[in-house]
Structures are given as structure tokens and as C-alpha cells.
Amino acid sequence: MSPNFRVSPQQMQVFLDIAEAGSIAAAAKKLGLTAPAVSKQLAMLENQLELGLIERTTRRMQLTPAGRIFKDYAAETLRLLSERESRYLSEMRGEPSGTLRVVAARPLATQFLLPHLHEFTSRFPHITLDLELAERFPDIEQENIDLIFGMTMQGTAGLIQRSIGKTAYWLCAAPSYLERHGHPQQPDDLSEHYLIAHTMRRHPNRLTFRDHQEVAMRTVLRLNDTSAMRQATCQGTGIVSLHHYMVEDMIRSGELIRLLPDYELPAVPVHLFYRKSGRILPALRHFIDFAVKICRIQL
């Protein structure tokens, strides 16, 4: 395949119509063209790509392996072009719309974002919010994401990183765990205890306190979900370090016990991340303003 090939949106649409209709004649009827004209466009496309996209038999047509791949590529490309066109038209009209793809840290989004999301959707009804709750740091370019919300880790050099507040981590354990293993009185005691760790943390088996004292613990369980970590803690599996807002109700009820409150873990900044570019489209700008406002009020 030539490295300089260019396929137009019109060529992609013709190919998709052929693939979906199952024949050149049916595609030509849909497009309002003659069958020879559609056949010629298909031949030109295959010549440009230097690939056979459709197997032609006397009875029917079917996609080649390359044709199936190109069909997915063409459909996704046309969808993105349509979406981008819609965004720019909305921007020119001063009316934010389009699809906004956001990956949000699950615990922070559940606690602070979701309860207020109706305010955003009712104010901007023409914006479709595609929101993924996750506990991972996605590739914003490869996954075509507009915004990463609520992550406490550092981003890459190609992203704008904006702090929206800080979150405190509390150490806690279930009464059943403490009955079996004892109650730590100072940070050094933790080296004899079992830790429930998060797979995304840089040093999952270490705890660093505000006075820079660092303690390594024996990891009994690693998980990629903070709610699962909390559940395992309630079952007496080990000690955990979690956002204070995830455990304070359980500590108040006695289901969990906070450990070493006089030896605080340092508060951690919470960030938004988005691409570096010349300008931010209105839909994204409005969502950033909304997210910053609700987090600064609550965090």
C-alpha cells in the first residue's frame, strides 16, 4: 500500500453502501448513481489501496479480510468527521453540542460528579456526555478522549494538567482484623501488618506519612477497584488506605476503625487532564468549568 494514499469521505461512503447493500446495483440505487459509476469508484478505491476489498462471484459479493477491516475504519472515520463537523458548526453558532468523551476516576465521580450531573445535562441538552467510570489512566490520543477527570496521578508531557482540589487518604481496618493482628500504635508497627493495595499506585506496598516517614507493608491483596478494596477491608482481609469520603460513614458506624489519625498521610492533588491545543471547543470548556466548580465546593 502506498504511504501517500488518500481516501475521500465520498469513497468511504460508497464502499460502505456497497458493503451494506450487498451488491453494486443496490448501492447504486441508494446513491442515485448508475451501477457502472459505482463499480468504477470501487475499482479506483481498490487501486488506490492496492488491496482487494470485495470478492465478486456470479451470485453474490462478500468482503475480503482487508475489506472487513476497511469497513470498520471507514465507518469510524465518517462518524468522527460528522461529529467534528457538528462541533464546529455549533461553535460558530455559539451553541455547544456534540459528544464529549470523559474518563472519570470512579470513586471521585461517584461521590462528587454524578450527584450534580443533571445540572450540566439540563443546561446543555445538545451535548451528549459519554462518561466512563474507571480506575486507570487512559491514553487520551489513542482512545479519542476529550477529558480525564479526577485522577491523582501525574499525566504525560503532552497534556494540560489542572488541579481541582485535594483528597485525604485515611488508614483503616475492620474490628475483626484488629482482633486477630493487633492495633498498630505508630507507623513502624505497620511493617508487621497486611496491606490491601491498589494496582495503579506507584508504590502499592508502601505508605508515606506527612513527616516523610515511609513504611513498607506486606501486601496480601492487590485490586484495581477502590470499592472492592473497601469491601475486602470490611471482611477483615487487611489494612487499607482510601479516600476519606469512601470510609468516613463506615468509621462513624463502627464497621471500620481509623488507624493512626495522629500520623496523617499527605493530601494528594486531584487533576483534570486534556489535550494541548490552540483552543478548547465550547462543550469541553463548559464541562471543565462545571467540574472545577463542583469539586472546589466539595473537596
- In the structure grid, which three cell numbers stand for residue 19, read together? 458493503
Instruction: Give the pLDDT band (50/70/90) at residue 93.
Output: low
pLDDT band per the 50, 70, 90 thresholds, residue 1: very low
Contacts of 136 (CB under 8 A, 6+ apart): 103, 200, 224
> With pLDDT > 70 as the criterion, what percentage of the chain qualifies?
94
Amino acid identity, residue 50? E
Distance in angstroms (rounded) separating the CA atoms of residues 299 and 284 = 22
At 3 the pLDDT is 43
Question: What is the dihedral sign for C-alpha 100, 104, 110, 113?
Answer: negative
Look up the pTM and report it: 0.67
In this prediction, residue 235 carries a pLDDT of 98
Task: Say yes or no to pLDDT of 248 above 50.
Answer: yes
- Tell me what the pLDDT averaged over the chain comes to: 89
Return the sign of the alpha-carbon dihedral for residues 107, 200, 166, 156: negative
The arithmetic mean of pLDDT across residues 54-82, rounded, is 86
pLDDT per position as a tens digit, 164-219: 989 999 999 999 999 999 999 999 999 999 999 999 888 888 999 988 899 999 99
Q: What is the model's pLDDT at position 88?
A: 72
Q: Where are the strands (E) in the chain, listed by range?
A: 54-56, 61-63, 98-105, 127-134, 147-151, 159-167, 169-173, 194-198, 206-208, 214-216, 218-223, 239-243, 257-259, 268-275
The pLDDT assigned to 279 comes to 72
pLDDT digits (tens, 9 = 90+) for 215-238: 999 999 999 999 999 999 999 999
pLDDT of 125 strictly over 80: yes
Closest listed residue to residue 126, CA positions, set 92, 88, 82, 87: 87
Please tell me the predicted confidence (pLDDT) of residue 2: 44
Domains and their CATH numbers in the chain: 9-89 (1.10.10.10), 96-165+269-298 (3.40.190.10), 169-266 (3.40.190.10)
Length of the chain equals: 299
Residue range 44-69: mean pLDDT, rounded:
86
